Amino acid sequence: MRRRDVLAAIGVPVLASPIAALAQQRKPAVIGFLHPGSDPTVSVRVQQLAEGIREKGYAENRDFVWLIRWADFKSERLGALAAELASNQVTVLVAAARAAEEAARSATTVIPIVALDLETDPVAAGLVASLARPGGNLTGIFFDFPEISAKWLQLLGEALPGLRRLAILYDPAVGVLQMTAIKAAAAPLGIELQMLEVNGPADMAASFDAAQRNGAQAIMALSSPIFGGNAERLADLAITHRIPGLSLFPEFARAGGLMAYGPDIADLYRQVGGIVGKVLDGRPPADLPIERPARIRLAINLKTATALGVTIPLPLLARADEVIE
């Protein structure tokens, strides 16, 4: 009797090949996800991340599982949540937004961190050595072009030629880069800015009330998980207060806001998932170049423009990637 038959007869499992043996022994990678927002938004973002990871050939539950923590917009909780993920020795830690990224960096210098940060210059902030070779345990997608602030004002100016008073919604947790850029862009245009601090979704309604009292002709929401994760609420408030609005996120225009110019959030998270897939391939963050959003979109809601009595010039409509009617 052959040795293989003897092993089978006495109940010893027989594997078809060494590869099969490795497949049975390998445990799924644990992907930690740290988000400053709330559960409904986090659930959607995890699905989008998973799409990007699957595109790299990895199957959920077989090759990777999730360990997810969110802060319900209480930034003071992020440090403890990041420490918890690190103590569980996750394979890779995905950090969404500046505050989560800082908490992750404080929690570990060893575990690979993949960040999604739309507010920071990673080299100037000392997060990485260079865009091409980050050099540490952090890589990801960063979008810090100050020029986009001037582009936002240009777009609003084309849609609202008499724009002189603009309300700015900003999240102090994302730093001052965006505010500095928008102030610099508005000054030579003679546009008066009303800066309205928003620390969470509960502050949004009061900010619109304040903008309306101050006679704002339009409102602009800077990049933040607060606005990105609450696009429908932001659009509803703009419509209710009859204030034309602009956001970085196309979801805002799709939900009823006047216009948006920036990267699509779903695309961003799929792109982040692709970077996670590279880490699962065994590539260290130190050697994975910092990426930029793959595409910037201009979305205009023509239905909202009509409701607000705003006439969108045809040349501006012609440049739009997406027109909602």
Widest CA span of the chain, in angstroms? 93
Q: How far is CA 257 from CA 198, 200, 210, 320, in A?
A: 18, 19, 18, 15
How many CA atoms, within 13 angstroms, populate the side-chain half-sphere of residue 105? 18
Residues near 106 by beta carbon (within 8 Å), at least 6 away in sequence: 79, 82
User: What local confidence, expressed as pLDDT, does residue 21 receive?
Assistant: 37
Q: What pLDDT score does 22 carry?
A: 36
Q: Which domains does the chain have, with CATH numbers?
A: 6-143+266-287 (3.40.50.2300), 147-262+296-324 (3.40.50.2300)
What's the pLDDT at 174? 83
* Residue showing tokens 């690979």: 112
Looking at residue 220, its pLDDT comes to: 96
What burial class does residue 176 get, using C-beta atoms within 10 Å of its C-beta: 0-12 exposed, 13-18 middle, 19+ buried? exposed
CB 48 within 8 A of CB 270: yes
Which pair of structure tokens corresponds to residue 181? 């850029």
Strands 245-247 and 259-262, bridge-based pairing: parallel
Q: Which residues 6+ apart lie within 8 Å of 216 measured at CB?
A: 165, 166, 167, 194, 243
Residues 68, 46: Cα–Cα separation, whole Å = 9
Regarding beta strands 297-301 and 259-262, do their DSSP bridges make them parallel or antiparallel, or are they unpaired? antiparallel
Rounded Cα–Cα distance for residues 88 and 80 (Å): 12
Residue 276's identity, in one-letter code, is: V
For 39-65, letters b (16+ CB in 10 Å) and e give eebbeebbebbbebbbebebebeebbe
Q: Are 69 and 95 in contact (CB under 8 A)?
A: no
Residue with tokens 């590869």: 19
pLDDT (0 to 100) of residue 199: 93
Taking each continuous run of H as one helix and of E as one strand, the counts in the chain are 14, 12
Q: Which DSSP category does 25 fall into?
A: H
pLDDT at residue 60 in the model: 96
Q: pTM of this prediction? A: 0.87
Could you read off the pLDDT tens digit of each residue along the chain, which spans 325 residues? 444 443 333 344 444 433 343 344 579 999 999 999 998 899 999 999 999 999 999 999 999 999 999 999 999 999 999 999 999 999 999 999 999 999 999 999 999 999 999 988 999 999 999 999 999 999 999 987 767 888 999 999 999 999 999 999 999 988 788 888 899 999 999 999 999 999 999 999 999 999 999 999 999 999 899 999 899 999 999 999 999 999 999 999 999 999 999 999 999 999 999 999 999 999 999 999 999 998 999 999 999 999 999 999 999 999 999 999 9
